[in-house]
Amino acid sequence: MSRWPAFLPEAALAVTGLLIFAALMSDRHRERWSRRAARVGGVLLLAACLVTLDRSADVFWVTYRVDTFSQLVKLAVAVGFLVSVFIVGDGTGQRDDARGEVFFFLLTSAAGLMVMASTVELLALYLALEIASFSLFVLVPLREGFPLGKEAGLKFLVVGLAASAVTLFGLSILIGLTGTTKLDVMAEVLPQVPAQPAVFFGLGLFLAGFLFKLALFPFHFWAPDVYEGASHGVAAFVATASKMAAIALLARLLALTQLGGTMLVVALALAAAVSMTLGNLVAIIQRDIKRMLAYSAISQAGYVAVGLVAFTQDGFAAAIFYGVLYLLMNAAAFLVVAKVGADGTNPSLDDLRGLHRRSPLLAATLLLALFALAGVPPTSGFIGKWFLFRAAMAEGWWWLVLLGSINATISVYYYLVVVKHAYLLEPEGEEKPVALTWGDKALCYGLSAATLALGVWPTPLYDWAVRAASVLP
C-alpha cells in the first residue's frame, strides 16, 4: 500500500496556503476571498485528518512519522484552526491592512503545530515550534483600536524569544549527552546516561518552550496580557490549537525520558500545584472575560500537568484526552466572547448582563463551556479531570489530586459569577440582540453537543487517546 495518502493533511495545508496567498494577491475583496479560502481549506484539512487517522508512514530517514498520535493531534489542530477562522469573521478587531493576512498567518502557525506532531527529530521539532510561534508573534500586535495590543505583542515576542533561546540551549545539552537528534534513539540512550545534573538541566531547559506554550507556572506571565491584547480570533487560536499541540508534545517528550520518580517529576508536580492555585485565585478578581479565561488557562495547565506527573501510559493518554476536550470547551467560550464583543472590544462581565434574552443560544453555549471548564458533571470537563486525577492517584500523587480537587471547587465560584451576569442580572442600558450567522449557530450547536456527548460517552475519544499514547517511546 502506498504511504503517500497518509500525508493528505500536509497536502491540504499546502493547497489552502496557496489559495489564501492567491486571494491576498487580488486587488479587490482580498479579505473576503482569503476568508472564504481559509474556511474551505479548513474543512478540507479537517476531512483529510479524519480519513488518515488510521494511517502510518515514515519519511525523510525516519525523521517525520505519521501514526495515531500525530494524526489525533493534527485533527485537534484542524478543529482549532477552523473554529478560529470563523471567530475571526470579517477581521473586525484586526488592523485594516491585515484583515486578510490574519488567515494566512493562522494557517502557517497551524502548519508548524502539525509538523511538531509528526516530527521525531529534535532540530526539526525546534524549527516547527519556531514556525508556529513566529506567526503568532506577528498577529498579536496587529490589533486595531486597542493600545495595549502592541504592548502585549512585544511582551509575547520578548518572552517567547527567551523561551526559544532556553529551549535551544537545552537541546544542545541533550544532543551533547546522547550524541543523537532522533527521539527514538534518545529514548534508548537517556536511561543509560548516568543520572548527573546535566541530564535534568538539559531536559528542563528543553521543555521550557513547550511549557511556555502551555502557560504552566513559571512560564505563564505572557498569557493574561496576550489573551487581553490579541484580537478575538487570534486569542482563540492561542487558547485552543496551540495549547493542544503543547500538551501532546510534552507527553511525547516526557515519555522518551523514562525518568519517572526523579526530581524532574517533582518539579513538574510543584509547577502543577502552583499553576492550579495561582490561576484560580487570580481569576476570581478579573472583570475582563478574556483575561479571566487566561488565568483559567493557567489553572487548566496545572490540571493537565497532574496527568503528566503520573509518567504512565494512562497519565499521558489522560493528558491528550483532556487536551482535546479543553480545545472544544475553550473554543465555545471564545466564540461567545467574540460575538458579544463583535465590535472588536473586549467584553467585560457587565457586557454579559441579560445575554439569555439577547441571545439564548450564546448564553446556553457559554453556560455549558464554563461548567465544562469547572468540571461539573455530566460535561466533558468532569470526565476529563477524573481521568487525569485517576492516573495520578494510581501512582501515589494523592496530595496533588487533593489540591486539584480543591482548586476545581474554587473555580466553580468565578465561573458561576459569569453565569450569574448572563442569566440573572439585567442590562444597564438598552438591550441589543446579538446577531449570529449560520456558521456561528452551527459552531454553537456543534461545540455544545460535543461538550455534553463526550461527558456522557467518552469511550471512543479516550480509546483514541490511549492508542496515541501507546505509540510513544
pLDDT along the chain (473 residues), means of 10: 72 84 75 82 85 74 79 87 83 68 84 85 84 84 74 81 85 81 76 69 79 81 82 84 82 70 77 89 87 89 87 86 89 87 79 82 89 87 89 85 89 88 77 76 88 88 85 72
312 Rama sector, left if φ>0, alpha if ψ -120 to 50, beta otherwise: beta
Quick one: pLDDT at residue 96? 64
Q: Shortest CA distance to 414 belongs to which of 239, 296, 330, 272? A: 296
Q: How far is CA 428 from the centre of its chain?
A: 35
Cα→Cα distances 376→380, 412, 454, Å = 8, 8, 13
Instruction: Please provide the DSSP assignment of 276-287 as one string.
Output: HHHHHHHHTT--
Query: pTM above the 0.85 mark?
Result: yes
Instruction: Report helix, strand or coil for 145.
Output: coil
Residues in the chain: 473
| Separation of alpha carbons 304 and 300, rounded Å | 6
Give the number of other CB atoms < 10 A from CB of residue 176.
10
Quick one: pLDDT at residue 1? 47
Quick one: pLDDT at residue 8? 82
Task: Please check whether residue 307 is in contact with residue 392, taking contact to mean a CB–CB distance below 8 angstroms.
Answer: yes
* Cell numbers that stand for 2 in this block: 502506498
The H-or-E segment that residue 64 falls in is strand 64-66
